[in-house]
Chains A and B, each alone.
Chain A
Amino acid sequence: KYQVQISEARKMSILEYNGAAIIAMGGKDCVGIACDTRLGAQAQTVSCDFRKVFKMNDRTFVGLAGLATDVLTMNNLLKFRQNLYELREERQLTPKVFSNLLSNLLYEKRFGPYFIEPVVAGLDENNKPFLSGMDLIGAPVYTDDFVVSGTATANMYGMCETLYKKDMEPEELFETLSQALLASVDRDALSGWGAVVHIVTKDGVISRELKGRRD
């Protein structure tokens, strides 16, 4: 297990150093992905506007939970690879292909991995929702209901399992996603301090910022 000891603090997993909470959920011809906006250095909060969900193109979003430096690096790396793909192939990356690319990039570092656990959410060519989650070495899981990642996964799994329904319309998906995230991060010290929710439909993306408990 990857562990780190920073000054007098107790040993904790490197994936829990900065704190994060990400949920992606599928709806009827739409998909939602939400993240908290806290950035911490263990117990101390450093920023309240550190977003972990990144738009790759109009149909593909990725949420990166884990060590913040790797979150930023992986975002830059993904942008680089996406750019090359679009220049060479003269077409856009679909979420499934993007997810495979990400999985491949992570496995390349099998014995010295990036400390991130990503979540991919998007709409495929038929505007059907695509969701995938991965561990830090790229093992993917594909579902049609929800994927979660971060320091509050136990809370998020419970909330999602309870609140999720199949075939939710965009507005209802937004409500469900928001409630699931907010309730989960309230019981986790390392995540919270604001949230951002993106709802992706074939007509575009609507992004909203949530105000939650600021502790």
Chain B
Amino acid sequence: MARRYDSSTTTFSPEGRLHQVEYAIEAINNAGTCVGILAKDGVVMASEKKVTSSLLAPAKSSEKTYKLCQHAACNVAGLTADANILIDQARLRAGRYAYQYCEAIPVEQLVEHVCNYKQAYTQYGGLRPFGVAFLFAGYDTHYGFQLYQSDPSGNYSGWKATVIGANNQAGKSFLKNEYGAKKEDEDEKMKGEEEEKSAEEAPEASMPDVQEALRLAVKVLNKTMDATASSPDKMELFCMTLDDDGECSHKILSADEAQKVIDEIEAETAPSGDS
């Protein structure tokens, strides 16, 4: 088998694979799910909170969501210890860029820096890769709101909506159908074929707003989480929007606000046989 090509990160297998990197990606598939959804007026990230014990005294405000700078934040899936190193790297990079240029770092550049750092561990040194996947949410004046996903290989890509962590395939296929899907009642009658044409030309037309995105994110988590009943203590909802001064605001929803979103979804799905 490929046993003899497994142990070193810096060796390709005969099939042209880096097994250590793939095993690192496997490690993340056991971690708490994170959903990211890009909206017209912001970015939403929802994550499954894996509460291990009621005796646990959390030191930081979140184990999943981290602020990187004024205009960027990330969600973590994987080994928290590994994530802490990378988050610190990202914060330093954003700070140094601002120090040098007196300008906010463009989001993609920040993501690329973190990914380049991760990539080094797949090519040099004989050290293992980082067992973390990130969802980066950010805003800059060049491209507006953005959502990126990165994995242990150092690969990254921009998304309108994506899922990482446990059951991410189920989450992604759910999003494929649900993201940007118009509500059945009014639009089908009015738009007709025009909608199909415009869906390709103007994809922003079907981009949800932050409130819709929050509901969609919770729906995805409901699908991917094992538990049947969703509640605020099992999930963490984060949204990034612009406030009135044009500054980015990072908000982790309180238990009440999260409960409200959950209730809205339950109200939606309840009268399913009516229309």
* CB of A54 to closest CB in B, whole Å: 14
* CB of B117 to closest CB in A, whole Å: 17
DSSP majority for the A interface? helix
B-contacting residues of A (Cβ < 8 Å)? 76-77, 79-80, 83-84, 87-88, 90
CA distance A90 to B92 in the complex (A): 15
Q: How large is the interface on B (under 10, 10 to 19, 20 to 34, 35 or more residues)?
A: 10 to 19
B61 interface hit (Cβ, 8 Å): yes
**Are A88's CB and B99's CB within 8 A?**
no
CA distance A79 to B102 in the complex (A): 11
**Are A80's CB and B96's CB within 8 A?**
yes
**Are A77's CB and B99's CB within 8 A?**
yes
**Are B60's CB and A80's CB within 8 A?**
no
A-contacting residues of B (Cβ < 8 Å)? 60-61, 67-69, 88, 91-92, 95-96, 98-99, 102
* CB of B253 to closest CB in A, whole Å: 18
CA distance A192 to B96 in the complex (A): 34
Chain B residue numbers with a CB within 8 Å of A80 are 95-96, 98-99
Given known contacts A80-B96, A83-B69, is B88 in contact with A88 (CB within 8 Å)?
Answer: yes
**Which residue from chain A places its CB closest to the CB of B94 in the assembled complex?**
A83
Contact among A76, A77, A84 with B102 in the assembled complex (CB-CB below 8 Å): A76
**Which residue from chain A places its CB closest to the CB of B100 in the assembled complex?**
A76
**Are B99's CB and A87's CB within 8 A?**
no
* CB of A126 to closest CB in B, whole Å: 24
CA distance A79 to B95 in the complex (A): 9
Contact among A76, A77, A79, A87 with B67 in the assembled complex (CB-CB below 8 Å): A87
List 23 A-B residue pairs with CB atoms under 8 Å apart, sorted by A's residue number. Answer: A76-B99, A76-B102, A77-B99, A79-B98, A79-B99, A80-B95, A80-B96, A80-B98, A80-B99, A83-B69, A83-B95, A83-B98, A84-B91, A84-B92, A84-B95, A87-B67, A87-B68, A87-B69, A87-B91, A88-B88, A88-B91, A90-B60, A90-B61
